[in-house]
Copies of this chain bind each other. A is one copy, B any other.
Amino acid sequence: MSKLVIVGTVAFDAIETPFGKTDKILGGAATFIGLAASQFKVDSAIVSIVGGDFPKKYLELLESKNINTSGIEVVENGKTFFWSGRYHNDMNSRDTLITELNVLAEFNPVVPSNFKDAEIVMLGNLHPLTQMSVLDQMTSTPKLVILDTMNFWMDCALDDLHKVMKRIDVITINDEEARQLTGEYSLVVAARKIHSMGPKFVVIKKGEHGALLFHNDNVFYAPALPLEEVFDPTGAGDTFAGGFAGYIARTGDTSFENMKNAVIYGSTLASFCVEKFGTLRMEQLESQEVHQRLQQFKDLTQFEIELS
């Protein structure tokens, strides 16, 4: 089993969907990634920053999932990063209502010393220079570095994004962002261009339409589970990435064949994440439930046509 370092936001979210709304609840990319990866009982650490207003019980929750929180800096006189958004009726688009960076504006990630030799590094969505500073702190070359990013950094920090992309192995990016980054509509062509920017593996997330994994001329497709109802999509992409990273950390196998399984696990965990507000579903998720849903993914996708 490999050690996993996760850098990303630990935050408050306030979410409004057609089904209801929340007050400030636990959120943040690193939170969702960590909770998903914890399903694989890996040794993980979150590197992040919160304010004095961040409830101790949330840190205890993470610790209870075997997530090391010593890399989460607490700025006692600061406020935790806060995001608020409202989803439209189709749940596929949303408006950001509030973004308060707060302590995140001064975030200098510090990797705990006992995780500086972690084999797997998951760089959650953050400024590319912040992501890079985590790589600079590693004392040995990680076996696999996974990066998530978003259109915001393409708009305002594209050069830095290109720099960090040269140092990673896997990028996870959504379809619209892949198109923006490359200027290509075809995801096959876009993936090839992104590959040429650095990452050997390109994962394109298509939300309710699943995810594609590209590696050289190989492509693998993991559908999203067709759901009766998406209650709250917040964190689904990060949960996908966390499931991917956690499975790789658990198995220590970075082959394309094993990454197929990793994206299936990512899709599986994401299908739970959207069932309740915020992190609620992921906090309670039992391994037996994951096992059953994996069987549903098999039923959904596996077929028997004999080819000679």
Say yes or no: B228 contacts A186, CB within 8 Å: yes
Cα-based distance from A210 to B209 in the complex (angstroms): 9
Bound complex: CA of A98 vs CA of B294, how far in Å?
48
Pair A226/B303 contact, Cβ less than 8 Å: no
Determine whether A301 belongs to the interface, using a CB cutoff of 8 Å to chain B. yes
* Closest beta carbon of chain B to A215's beta carbon, Å: 12
Q: Does A89 contact B (CB under 8 A)?
A: yes
Q: Which residues 125-143 of A have a CB within 8 angstroms of B?
A: none
B212 touches A209 (CB 8 A): no
Q: Report chain B residues within 8 Å CB of A90.
A: 185
The one of B209, B219, B220, B229 in contact with A209, judged by C-beta atoms closer than 8 angstroms, is B209
Which B residues are in CB contact (< 8 Å) with A219?
A: 226, 299-300
Does A295 interact with chain B (Cβ within 8 Å)? Answer: yes
A185 CA to B209 CA, complexed, in Å? 14
Chain B residues whose CB sits within 8 angstroms of the CB of A291 once the complex forms: 307
Q: Are A300 and B221 in contact (CB under 8 A)?
A: yes
Cα A301 to Cα B227 with chains together (Å) = 19
Residues on B with C-beta less than 8 A from A261 are: 303-305
Minimum CB–CB distance for A246 against chain B, Å: 14
Interface string of A272-307 (1 = CB under 8 A from B): 000000000000000000010011001111111101
Known: A90-B185, A291-B307. 13 other contacts (CB 8 A): A186-B227, A186-B229, A206-B209, A219-B226, A219-B300, A220-B299, A220-B300, A220-B303, A260-B303, A261-B303, A264-B305, A294-B307, A298-B307
Residues of A at the B interface (CB closer than 8 Å) are 89-91, 185-189, 206, 209-210, 212, 218-221, 223, 226-230, 257, 260-261, 264-265, 291, 294-295, 298-305, 307
- Cross-chain pairs A/B with CB under 8 angstroms, 12 sampled: A91-B185, A188-B227, A188-B228, A218-B299, A219-B300, A220-B300, A221-B223, A261-B305, A291-B307, A294-B305, A298-B305, A301-B302
